[in-house]
Amino acid sequence: MLHCNAAKLASARPLGSTARCPHCGDCMVAPVVSEFVEDGEIRHHWECDACGEISTTSIPLCSP
């Protein structure tokens, strides 16, 4: 009965969507909101667990 829950946790984390808080440098695992921008990028809004500051990152989609 030794099932590995770590594998499930790892696969549940979205690829390439981790960021560091620009205010305190803490790791933020999941964005609060993700939105699609018409320019062809995805914008993630983060709220830091450590300091509570809001920050935004933009990730370009497949560039030509």
Q: Which residues bind Zn ion (CB under 5 A)?
A: 21, 23-24, 26, 48, 50-51
Say how far apart CA 15 and CA 42 lie, in whole Å: 14
Picking from 47, 42, 39, the residue whose alpha carbon sits closest to that of residue 59 is: 42
CB of 14 to Zn ion, least distance (A): 20
What is the sign, positive or negative, of the torsion defined by CA atoms of 22, 29, 56, 41? positive
Closer residue to Zn ion (CB): 18 or 41: 18
The residue (of 23 and 45) whose beta carbon lies closer to Zn ion is: 23
Q: How far is the CB of 59 from Zn ion (least distance, A)?
A: 19
